[in-house]
């Protein structure tokens, strides 16, 4: 049985640093082209938030409920996504590298 080949994220060579630690996500927010690293993203609840061309590096997600979130060309490196609610997420060209995903709610994931 062959599995469909998933495309790797398409990333630019240079990415600026993005700081999110004090941000409160709102419905339909979008974040584009950057690196989010060495932080904790805590107590966020929003729907249809979009991330495009983002690298999450050493990020811990706690108390997260982000239904219908969209990831396009995203890389998660050494992140803790335990117990996050990403139900009904749409995921395009996204990789999870050495991440902890125990208890992640992936109900209804749409992966392309």
Predicted pLDDT of residue 60 = 96
Give the Cβ contact number of residue 38 at 10 Å: 12
Instruction: Give the chain's length.
Output: 112
- Residue 84's CATH number: 2.160.20
Predicted pLDDT of residue 57 = 98
- Segment 26-44, tens digit of pLDDT: 999 999 999 999 999 999 9
Residue 15 included in any domain: no
Residue 23 included in any domain: no
Residue 62 included in any domain: yes
Residue 79 included in any domain: yes
Which residue's entry shows tokens 């495009």?
52
Residue 4 included in any domain: no
Report residue 106's pLDDT band, with 50, 70 and 90 as the boundaries: confident
**Residue range 48-72: mean pLDDT, rounded:** 96
Predicted pLDDT of residue 14 = 94
Range of the domain at 59: 30-111
Q: How many folded domains does the chain comprise? A: 1
Using DSSP, how many helices (H) and how many strands (E) does the chain show?
A: 0, 5
What's the N-to-C CA distance of the chain in angstroms? 19
Predicted pLDDT of residue 3 = 62
């Amino acid at each position: 049985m062959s599995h469909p080949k998933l495309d790797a994220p398409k990333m630019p060579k240079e990415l600026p640093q993005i700081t999110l630690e004090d941000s409160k996500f709102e419905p339909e927010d979008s974040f584009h082209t950057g690196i989010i690293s060495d932080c904790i993203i805590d107590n966020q609840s929003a729907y249809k938030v979009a991330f495009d061309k983002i690298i999450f590096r050493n990020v811990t997600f706690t108390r997260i409920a982000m239904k219908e979130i969209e990831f396009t060309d995203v890389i998660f490196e050494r992140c803790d996504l335990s117990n996050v609610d990403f139900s009904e997420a749409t995921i395009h060209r996204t990789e999870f590298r050495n991440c902890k995903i125990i208890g992640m709610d992936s109900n209804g994931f749409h992966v392309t």
